[in-house]
Chain A
Amino acid sequence: MGNGPDIKDIQTIEHDVIVIGAGGAGLRAAIECSRQGLNTGLVCKSLLGKAHTVMAEGGMAAAMGNVDNRDGWKIHFRDTMRGGKFLNNWRMAELHAKEAPDRVRELEEWGAVFDRTKDGLISQRNFGGHRYPRLAHVGDRTGLELIRSLQDYGVHSGIHVHMECTALDLMKDGDRVCGALGYWRDTGRFVLFKSKAVILATGGIGKAWRITSNSWEYTGDGLAMAYLAGAELLDLEFTQFHPTGMVWPPSVRGVLVTEGVRGDGGILKNSEGKRFMFGYISPRFAPETADTEEEANRWLAGDKSARRPPELLTRDEVARAINAEVKAGRGSEHGGVYLDIASRLPAEVIRKKLPSMYHQFKELAEVDITKQPMEVGPTLHYHMGGILVDAESQMTTVPGLFAAGECGAGLHGANRLGGNSLSDLLVFGRRAGLGAAEYIKALPGSPAPVADQVQASMRRATDILNRDSGTNPFVIQDQLQDMMGKNVGIIRTKSELETAVGELEKFKSEADKVKAHATSQYNAGWHTALDLRNLLIASEAVAKAALTREESRGAHTREDFAGEREEWVKYNVIIKRGADGSMVVEKRERKPGPTPLVEIANSKIEDLEGGKVGADYK
């Protein structure tokens, strides 16, 4: 070929399956692959145990009924559908609610030490949108417990871990996936992974925004690689803005303040000292939400006849309410609102229940949350949209390519409930592993990477270093974040979204000229430059999907199309790469849900609990 290094000279590693991403989803998938007898490779950009999952705070949702025995999978399923504004994949929401308790118990079997109830069982805490206390947790560091338990168990299960290795592109043999090209961070050298199947577990796309709870890793790599490999993407317009991120000082703007603060009694106040959430209860949730402070306080004290405080409405609702308060001039000093736990709980209880929040504010903002309120505001947090997968096997529309965790899509619909991600990772991580094993069993022969693809991928990477001059990748990323925050934010309009689409064209041509200096070894600039392509694909896809959905549903709010439109619940927005390489957007009709599930999701809570609805459905 003469256009780059010979593919025979590149280090090649062969596995039956490679899992890209070592958060909860990737680790659980890899463990399952290994259990199924597959030779399994696990690749991640950072060191093992540092993936986003480690940051999860509040807990993991599973209807175990340890704290309130009225809970069960049907109620969890109903909450998930209602939180997702009925756009969720019915089957995924069912599987998730049914299987989550087993996944929690399994984790305990692998060494996780959850907080306990008085009777010594796994304790469960309240969270937004969950009817009963449902989140298994460890203080406010549940993600750490989850990832460390999987990691400690996983390293004994024969998985081959390749740390600080970044996947650049998927490789295909005909229409099948056959591996991926990556590079080692510590040397800057390329490595070709050959495999029969690939599981993507790369997480989200938060780095397209400046104010985000997400780290540098969240550049939509899995989404973009899948897209370029021909996979379909689902409902990308649904980007979750978590209502409570830190707003001050500027250097920590966006860092998450767990919903657990509100679950444990924290309340939101505006600059006038008013507990404003009572003014923002939407009709859907009104029958199940307290309408006086007195009732909300009774609920907190454990009165089972009282309804839940409005601070625990779903995230989309709370984020919009905060946004509205700030816009109306009732915001806090630095443009947020106040979150008060100090006046609600004794100092030692706060320190015990929310230790990492206590430290985070003390050390980063010089605020003592046992004495003062926190200043909080919305922060880009999670991507409900993602790669379209089969509910049972997690296979994408590309044979041999699977996706699980945040980079996949379907379970959460238009809005994710807190705590439903960690359970998602385990339920569908495991299923992806099983799916890959089944696929491989039925696979005729071994697909093999094609030299042209490998070389094209390497050339794209090395061009960035070899160019004589060009734009600074950090500066482009910074400008992109600014642009996305302005035009594809929490409240959206047609004209701003169109501006975004236009701007993104300019960013794309800028990104083609990006230059990284020095050598390829552990080079932050080069890495940021490589990520740009993925970030731009993700941004474009979100903007175009948001433009297409002409309604407001869940996390997607269109100022020019207020409110949910009956017609739109029937459609998904699908994005894929067209034959000419341009992005194709399709409004695709959804299959109606199975009758018993539809009935359960739409039932009155009394009817469901009284056995009038769904009693026969197992």
Chain B
Amino acid sequence: MAERTFKIWRGNKDGGEFVEYKVDVGPGWVVLDCIHRIQMQHSTDLACRWNCKAGKCGSCSMEINGKPRLGCMTRMNSLPEGTITVQPLKTFPVIKDLVTDVSWNFEQNKRIAPFKPRPRDADGHHRMKQEDVDRVQEFRKCIECFLCQDVCHVLRDHKAHDKFVGPRFMIRLASLEMHPLDTDDRVEKIRKEFGSGWCNITRCCTEVCPEHIGITDNGIIPLKERVVDRFYDPVAWFLGKVFGKK
């Protein structure tokens, strides 16, 4: 067991500071294991979200050495020697310690009109080819860790929360817009209400996504293209809707 030093941000909305802890790290440990050890041995009231401990639920988002990451998927032996700093997501208001108020994201989801499928075939089935749903399935891998929301400069630095829904919800919109069964027209709203124009394709979101979703290239850029297409060529858009989208 090797001893490692942590600096963990402790505090609440009124302010806080980094507190140092020392942890004996066992084989294969991830950062979340260390936080649990600190809770058990040093500070039982340390606040941190987690559920699955296997990268599947997106609860344990935090900033480790300044990078937005999942605590349960960050192995200790992948971190450089020296003190490890852990702090809450910067883009969202702190509740306590590593826990932030991410409720804004849940509000954004409510603004997105639900899936509106075409009628079923006569025998009661929906038919879709696997290759036509691959792209949609890629977006649906999202575990709502909100790391992409945290890193996107439009939200993080410009605080344009009222103008841009952020990468997470751009791909949610893309998963509906590219869904072979969906009949709703979402392009206008993607531009006007959800602010697709705010994204300037820095790809920071894609870099941090633990699900390796091609947020920018596979989701946002095609959406932007659809917005542009509609603007220049309404006929192509209409044909696309009737005879299947790309």
- Using CB atoms and an 8 Å cutoff, list the residues of chain A in contact with chain B: 46-52, 54-55, 105, 108-111, 113, 115-116, 119-122, 138-139, 141, 144-145, 148, 152-153, 155-156, 161, 163, 186, 215-217, 248-252, 255-256, 356, 359-360, 363-365, 472-475, 478, 516-519, 521-526, 528
Q: Is the CB of B114 within 8 A of A472?
A: no
Who on chain B is nearest to A148 by CB?
B140
Looking at the assembled complex, report how far the CB atom of A510 sits from the nearest CB atom of chain B, in whole angstroms.
16
In the bound complex, how far is the Cα of B124 from the Cα of A50, in angstroms? 32
Contact A113 B114 (CB under 8 A): no
Q: Knowing A113-B133, A216-B51 touch, does A519 contact B28 (C-beta < 8 A)? A: no
The B91-118 residues at the A interface (CB cut-off 8 A) are: 95-97, 99, 101-103, 106, 109-110, 112, 114-115, 117
Query: What is the CB-to-nearest-CB distance from A271 to chain B, in angstroms, rounded to a whole number?
Result: 21
Tell me whether A521 and B96 are in contact (CB under 8 A). Answer: yes
A-contact 0/1 string along B166-192, CB 8 Å cutoff: 000000000010010000000000000
Stretch from B16-24, B38-46, B196-204 contacting the other chain: B38-46
Residues of A within 8 A of B59 (CB): 46-47, 50
| A517 adjacent to B128 (CB under 8 Å) | no
B202-232 interface code vs A (CB 8 A; 1 in, 0 out):
0000000000000000000000000000000
* Interface contact B44-A252, CB-CB below 8 Å: no
Report the minimum CB–CB distance from B15 to chain A (whole Å): 15
Interface centre among A116, A249, A252, A256 (most CB of B within 10 A): A116
**With contact pairs A47-B102, A523-B47 given, residues A54 and B52 touching in the complex (Cβ less than 8 Å):** yes
Known: A250-B28, A255-B54. A144 touches B141 (CB 8 A): yes
Contacting pair A364 B28 (CB below 8 A): yes
Q: Which of A51, A145, A356 is the one whose CB lies under 8 Å from B140? A: A145
A49 touches B144 (CB 8 A): yes
A155 with B52: CB separation less than 8 A: no
For the complex, what is the distance from the CA of A516 to the CA of B114, rounded to whole Å?
43
A54 touches B56 (CB 8 A): yes
Residues of chain B lying within 8 A (CB to CB) of residue A55: 51-52, 54, 56-57
Contacts of B27 in A (CB 8 A): 249-251
- Contact status B110-A363, CB under 8 Å: no
Contact between chains at B44 and A360 (CB < 8 Å): no
| Neighbour of B75 across the interface among A215, A360, A364, CB < 8 A | A364
Choose among A120, A144, A523 the residue that contacts B143 (Cβ–Cβ < 8 A).
A144
Cβ < 8 Å to A, chain B residues 41-100:
44-59, 73, 75, 95-97, 99
**8 new A-B contacts at CB < 8 Å, known A108-B126, A215-B53:** A55-B51, A111-B115, A120-B125, A139-B137, A215-B51, A364-B75, A516-B44, A521-B12
- Chain B residues contacting A105 (CB-CB under 8 Å) are 124
Instruction: State which of B39, B54, B101, B114 has its C-beta within 8 Å of the C-beta of A525.
Output: B39
In the bound assembly, the distance between CA atoms of A522 and B100 in angstroms comes to 11
Check B26 for interface membership: any CB of A closer than 8 A. Answer: yes
Chain B, residue nearest A116 (CB): B130
B-side contacts of A139, CB under 8 Å: 137
Is A113 a contact of B54 with CB atoms below 8 Å?
A: no
Q: How long is the Cα–Cα vector from A113 to B39 in the complex, in angstroms?
A: 40
Closest to A147 in B: B57
Instruction: Enumerate chain B residues within 8 angstroms of A144, measured Cβ to Cβ.
Output: 56, 140-141, 143
Q: Which of B26, B51, B133 contacts A217 (CB 8 A)?
A: B51
Let me know if B150 is at the binding interface, CB within 8 A. no
Top 8 A-B residue pairs of the complex, sorted by shortest distance between their CB atoms: A249-B28, A525-B44, A120-B127, A111-B115, A518-B45, A522-B47, A474-B40, A522-B96
Asked whether B154 is an interface residue with its Cβ less than 8 Å from the other chain, the reply is no
Known: A120-B129, A144-B143. A523 touches B45 (CB 8 A): yes
A34 to B155, CA, bound (A): 34
